[in-house]
Structure 1
């Protein structure tokens, strides 16, 4: 990113075309850090949505389709004090490596992006992203998988099995894996897939995710705030696994933003909650000020 805050996507494309090995070289020389810093908290910026065809943010259905703009916003966010790292698919992580934006940051690779947003096969979350061996080879710090379960869809059993296999593979390599579980269902009216954020559903999803695989030693949970934030203490009592909060969408008005931040603030007080993973609401805030939005979220920690 230049002094005017512009990412030269043409230069990135030329480098990729002429020297594809530059990605591996950048990964090899990247200064690393522990997953948890001295404060014991995690603030991660999420940007793995495009790989699942989910490009919208706010009222713009294609907000994340401009890669140069997305990379600029990510560089701004990663440069703010208190931001620990990023969660993204391989293509975005490769861009950020070439830009030198991942030095000294926690890098989380998004692993299953096959459940494309709006597709008939959306619940069939195949592992089409980074593999455990990719995360190890590049020296990344953790992986993340999405686990959506529909009790009315027999195919959810395949997703559970694939998730368990991946948790096992990550544990064998000594790599943390963040599991983002939901109980989901198809809306009878429009057929859209919806995640159930009621306390009972979130509790069940955490119990299922915690019991995956042959060990939970390297498993973290990525947890949504329930519809009623007062339920979070009871929900989080389901497991002793460390967890981070899934930020979700933040409304455009100041009142809605304040309400969301207060939900996060309350949940962050719970003993097993170690931090935040937030994406579009910080990268594409209503007022366009990425630095201000990120600083506000960091302040909650």
Structure 2
């Protein structure tokens, strides 16, 4: 598909109601399909100012290129849907590529990458009522917990409210928890087994019910620790892809091992598939789908 930005701009300028109309007529599907597995492509990074992929600092800044990559990914067999912020999902709605796909809205993008307030991760994206109104299928929130940063408490409290609000609408919410801290002024997520275990325990207990809560989890620094780490909760989990690495084969092997574990139901992967270090989007997506 050739993405024509002027056409999207024209529709947005002259017929903004077209977005709601496209959402209203979109063909929906169950969250988990016949395979029992989920493969979601993530593209909610730009709204947090995180535009880099590998050594390309502004890789995701070209919207036409990003949409092209998303359209390719969504066209591949085995890809179930997409996770993104309102602007990107609405572009995809107008392009007509979200039919019979899982659509996940991203709730909190206020913790801008590199900002002094990064850990005070305000909910500046989709609200639960937006996800319901637009007939989207699920939501996602990022939950970074820094024991030395008071902003994490506000994020925790707001996250608990989001869990309750989504559950009251019977909408799944994917919680992506980390124990985080600052190193040389930059936020770093601790992928050690103990830190990931603690993050799972905290995320699983958020809100008045966990009935609609899923976990979106990284593979631990030592992949062999994942089996024990995932014993922390009975909530269904998906793996996240993380940064674009030079050794993609090693990443595939980590995912392959973790996907064998009983609580892991699939993957939500973004830049690793949309901007692979080697090869094209089709090859990267098909390889990831093959792991399932």
TM band (smaller chain): over 0.9
Q: What is the number of equivalent residue pairs in this alignment?
A: 292
Q: What is the root-mean-square deviation in Å for CA atoms of aligned residues?
A: 0.7
Q: Find the partner of 2:222 among 211, 222, 228.
A: 228
Match of 1:298 in 2: 289
Q: Find the partner of 2:65 among 54, 64, 69.
A: 69
Q: Find the partner of 1:268 among 246, 250, 259.
A: 259
Match of 2:162 in 1: 166
CA–CA distance in structure 1, aligned partners of residues 278 and 165 of structure 2:
42
Structure 1 counterpart SS, 2:232: coil
Query: Unpaired runs of 5+ in structure 1?
Result: none
Structure 2 counterpart SS, 1:285: coil
Alpha-carbon offset, residue 258 of structure 1? 1.3
Q: Deviations over 1:153-209 (max 9, x none)?
A: 12211110000000000001110000000000011xx21010000000000000000
TM-score where L is the length of structure 2: 0.99
Structure-to-structure mapping, 1:1-301, within 5 angstroms: 1=1, 6-187=2-183, 190-252=184-246, 256-301=247-292
Structure 1 counterpart SS, 2:27: coil
Alpha-carbon offset, residue 288 of structure 1? 4.5
Say whether the 8 Å CA contact 1:182–1:195 is kept in structure 2: yes
CA–CA distance in structure 2, aligned partners of residues 113 and 295 of structure 1:
29
Say whether the 8 Å CA contact 1:115–1:124 is kept in structure 2: yes
Say whether the 8 Å CA contact 1:229–1:263 is kept in structure 2: yes
Say whether the 8 Å CA contact 1:250–1:260 is kept in structure 2: no
CA–CA distance in structure 2, aligned partners of residues 287 and 30 of structure 1:
34
CA–CA distance in structure 1, aligned partners of residues 151 and 53 of structure 2:
29
Runs of 4+ in structure 1 off by over 3 angstroms are: none
TM-score where L is the length of structure 1: 0.96
CA–CA distance in structure 2, aligned partners of residues 54 and 247 of structure 1:
15
Q: Deviations over 1:50-85 (max 9, x none)?
A: 000000012110000000000000000000000000
